[in-house]
Amino acid sequence: MYPLVLGIHNILRWIVLVLGVIVLPQAYRGWLGKAPWTESARKIQVFFAASVDAQLLLGLLLYFGLSYIVRGAFLDFGAAMSNAGARFFALEHPASMLLALVFVHVGAARSKKAPDDAGKYRQVAIWFTLAFLIVLLGMPWSRPFLPHF
């Protein structure tokens, strides 16, 4: 179970990144070029948010059960905080990804409420950029780029 969930969490990160690379330029083009809001813009934004939500679910499974690293860290949380690897997965990675998820949902909600099309794109552009940067910073880049099943 642990390798499977970790493997899906690994692969899904590429989907988050690819969707981010699609949604951000589209949002800036729409905002700055005053393009009309389209169904495809809405869909790609929803897919991006859904991919981050799915990462949260898998992350929670890892965090509250499957991950040996996190389990080990909670045996002695104080000691784990002085170990960079344990601290990263017990605190820094989940906290930064949760913040990114909040920003994605704030952006999606504000975009929905924006009174005009440029405003919809602007909300997505600003909040999703912040979320995407946090995802990049909170990513465990030292881990394998693809899972070994």
Site for ligand HEM in 76-95 (CB under 6 A): 89, 93-94
Both tokens assigned to 27: 């949002």
If binding means CB under 6 A, how many residues of this protein chain bind ligand HEM? Answer: 28
Is residue 97 part of the contact set for ligand HEM (CB under 6 A)?
yes
- How many beta carbons lie within 10 A of that of residue 63, not counting itself? 18
Is residue 128 part of the contact set for ligand HEM (CB under 6 A)?
no
CA-angle at 64, arms to 87 and 102, nearest 5°: 75
Residue span 13-52 as binding mask against ligand HEM, x where in contact by CB under 6 A, dash where not: x--x-----------------------------------x
Is residue 9 part of the contact set for ligand HEM (CB under 6 A)?
yes
Residue of 30, 51, 3 lying closest to 126 (CA atoms)? 30
Query: 94 near 88, Cβ under 8 Å?
Result: no
Q: Give CA 120 to chain center in angstroms.
A: 20
Is residue 63 part of the contact set for ligand HEM (CB under 6 A)?
yes
DSSP state of 7: H
Compute the distance between CA of residue 130 and CA of residue 107 in angstroms, rounded to an integer. 10
Instruction: Give the nearest distance from C-beta 129 to ligand HEM in angstroms.
Output: 15
Residue ranges in contact with ligand HEM by CB under 6 A: 6, 9-10, 13, 16, 52, 55-56, 59-60, 62-63, 67-70, 89, 93-94, 97-98, 100, 135, 139-140, 143-144, 147
